[in-house]
Amino acid sequence: MEIRQLRDLQEEFLESYEAIKGSAYNNCLTFTAQLVGAVVKLVRSYQRFQNTVLVGPSGCGKRAAVTFFAHHMELNLVECASDGVDDFRAELFRAASEAITGDSQVMVSVVVGDAQRAEQVFDLVDRLMYYGDLPGMFTEEEKMSQLYGGDRVAEFEAMCDTSRHKERVEDKVLRLRDNLHVIVDLSPPVFEACYPRFPNLFAKSGIIAFREWSKPMLEAIARERLSARLTHAKGEFPLEAVCKTFASLHLHQQQHDSSGTASTQFLDVVALFPEIYTPLQKKLLDTETSLKAGIQCVVRSNGFIKQLTEEVAVKEPEIQRLASEIEQLNKRLTHERINLDKASKAFRRKEVAARKKSEETQELAADAHRY
């Protein structure tokens, strides 16, 4: 027995996943301890039991774990598109034919949503694994081909010796049991309803319980998906804080939502966040750039104002001196104006006196001329 550490298995699964990432069913698997543990349980169930029953709520990663497990183990996985019994019967018949006639391992996976369909599915699986055949499953020609592979001699010998025919039938059933593995996905209520009806089948099946994603798993998923989507985001992005917030909000919603909050809704929120964050961040960055440009203009203006203030402060004494001189000149001009007014008045008086004297002189001259 080889004991493997969880870290080693995680690295091995990652290498296996890289071979199909980008071209397969899921491009965003996050190999947390919870997912690695589920795949390991599937491997153990496959090696020990004929069938596996997955029990857990919808959206907790059961299908992703089964699909990766089938790829890792190189199994031919047949998934039923619906939980209808007729669809499952048809897929089961084709898988059984391939398991009997071929050498490859075939796995049939079906998700069953209610107890009535689950009972019909388990009844088909129980009878097929026990008898190796079901009514209407194969034609007589197909049955003979499965038993003898077209060997007419062996077919004739078996007709003569019933023990040989019985050996062939037992070998066919063994090939079917060895090569065909059925995985049934049930919700907890459906599992509780079906378990008492098929105790023998459940005793021969591996039962794996899936639970809602834990907080560390939610954070790891958000961290991996957001880091891949926001690699081109400008500035420092608070990845850890955002991942913890998403995980806490999802767990809080699960606790207070009676209708149930699937883990797939968490993936939808995480996928939607970059579509909202990227344009909003661009808008905020553009606003920040505009604000920085405006602040730089204000800083330059303040620098000019400071420079002018300093120049005015330096020339203020000269300005005060000039103002004082101007004031003194104004006083002198006022005084000169007063003196000018006085001189002007005296001149006018003298002028009047001189004109009067001139007139008197003219009169005397006129009188002298007459006489």
- Over residues 308-334, the pLDDT tens digits come to 988 888 888 888 888 888 999 998 898
Neighbours of 62 (CB within 10 A): 22
Domain ranges of the chain: 6-211, 215-371
Choose the most confident range, by mean pLDDT, from 49-53, 262-266, 301-305.
301-305
In residues, how long is the chain?
A: 371
User: What is the per-residue pLDDT for 171?
Assistant: 85
Assigned superfamily of 6-211: P-loop containing nucleotide triphosphate hydrolases (3.40.50.300)
Q: What value does the mean pLDDT take over residues 223-237? A: 72
Helix, strand, coil percentages, rounded to 5, for the chain: 70, 5, 20
Higher pLDDT, 211 or 22: 211
Collect all residues with Cβ–Cβ distance below 8 Å to 165 and sequence separation of at least 6: 147, 158, 159
The Cα 55–Cα 58 span in angstroms is 9
Q: What value does the mean pLDDT take over residues 225-243? A: 75
